[in-house]
Amino acid sequence: GENVEQHPSTLSVQEGDSAVIKCTYSDSASNYFPWYKQELGKRPQLIIDIRSNVGEKKDQRIAVTLNKTAKHFSLHITETQPEDSAVYFCAASRYSGAGSYQLTFGKGTKLSVIP
Amino acid sequence: GAVVSQHPSWVICKSGTSVKIECRSLDFQATTMFWYRQFPKQSLMLMATSNEGSKATYEQGVEKDKFLINHASLTLSTLTVTSAHPEDSSFYICSARVAGIDNTQYFGPGTRLTVL
């Protein structure tokens, strides 16, 4: 099955600096890579995603890059703000039969933005 | 759009009782719903995949007789934790996939289960 590794597990940055979180995956059949932000006790919120036919996608201060050959993808947050503090999860999705796509999550990165 | 609700948001029960958690897609049809379990400071672990009108597919190590899943309609899936024990205490989160070819999942707000 799919295995997703995420690094680092914790990340502290000064407000205004950039933050980068990296993930690798094992299943070359995976073709959809979402990133979720989860605040304490709340639901994971989709913040950006990328599909395997695209190498990079950007949405304001957030960008994601994908290298299918190397099987890794990264989340980039620029001009970080205190409200960016949360746990971020990467995931990889593959077709699992019967019309279903399963997500395999990384272990998460706790991002702390220091004012 | 793509809102998923979950009920209850938290529940405390005695050991040995059963607890039912509902997951609803409010503004879209979800042919597939997923149930996850999350322990404190850990990632989301997929428990089972629920397809409307058919039996759920459970992940390895998840007891299907203990975690009963019913996906009776395109907008509702339920998870029943039977004969709950303290080790079942966890954060249970459902997600739903919009019917069609999009494989984006939208998550419910989660249910905090505490078994005394």
Half-sphere exposure of A44 (CA within 13 A, CB side): 32
| Both structure tokens of A80 | 């970080």
**Which pLDDT belongs to residue A66?**
96
Q: Is B28 on the interface with A (CB under 8 A)?
A: no
Distances, alpha carbon A75 to alpha carbons A66, B6, B67, in Å: 9, 29, 35
pLDDT 10s digit of each residue in chain B, 116 long?
Answer: 689 999 999 999 999 999 999 999 998 888 889 999 999 889 999 999 988 888 899 999 999 999 999 988 889 999 999 999 999 999 999 999 876 656 788 999 999 999 99
Contact state of B54 with A107 under an 8 Å Cβ cutoff: no
Q: Which of residues 29-88 of B touch A (CB under 8 A)?
A: 31-32, 34, 42-46, 49, 51, 54, 57
CA distance B93 to chain A (A): 8
**Which pLDDT belongs to residue A41?**
87
**In chain A, which residues have their Cβ closer than 8 Å to the Cβ of B97?**
100-101
Give residue-wise pLDDT tens across range A6-30.
999 999 999 999 999 999 999 998 9
**In chain B, which residues have their Cβ closer than 8 Å to the Cβ of A42?**
109-110
Measured from the Cβ of residue B99, the count of other Cβ atoms closer than 10 Å reads: 15
Contact state of A100 with B97 under an 8 Å Cβ cutoff: yes
Q: How many whole angstroms separate alpha carbon A107 and alpha carbon B52?
A: 29
CB nearest A43 (choices: B42, B97, B110): B110
Contact state of B42 with A44 under an 8 Å Cβ cutoff: no
**Which pLDDT belongs to residue B1?**
63
Give residue-wise pLDDT tens across range A36-51.
999 988 999 999 999 8
What percent of chain B shows pLDDT beyond 90?
71
Pairing relationship of beta strands B10-13 and B111-115 according to DSSP bridges: parallel
> Considering chain A, what is the average pLDDT of its residues?
93
CB contacts < 8 A, A to B, total 60
pLDDT at residue A54 tops 90:
no
pLDDT at residue A80 tops 80:
yes
Contact state of B103 with A32 under an 8 Å Cβ cutoff: yes
Weakest-pLDDT range from A68-72, A98-102, B58-62: A98-102
**In chain B, which residues have their Cβ closer than 8 Å to the Cβ of A44?**
44, 93, 107
Q: How many whole angstroms separate alpha carbon A112 and alpha carbon A31?
A: 30
Contact state of A105 with B43 under an 8 Å Cβ cutoff: yes
Give residue-wise pLDDT tens across range B81-102.
999 999 999 999 999 987 665 6
Find the closest chain A residue to B10 by CA distance: A41
**Which pLDDT belongs to residue A98?**
64
**Which pLDDT belongs to residue A94?**
79
Cα A93 vs. chain centroid, distance in angstroms? 12
| Both structure tokens of A34 | 């979402």
pLDDT at residue A100 tops 80:
no
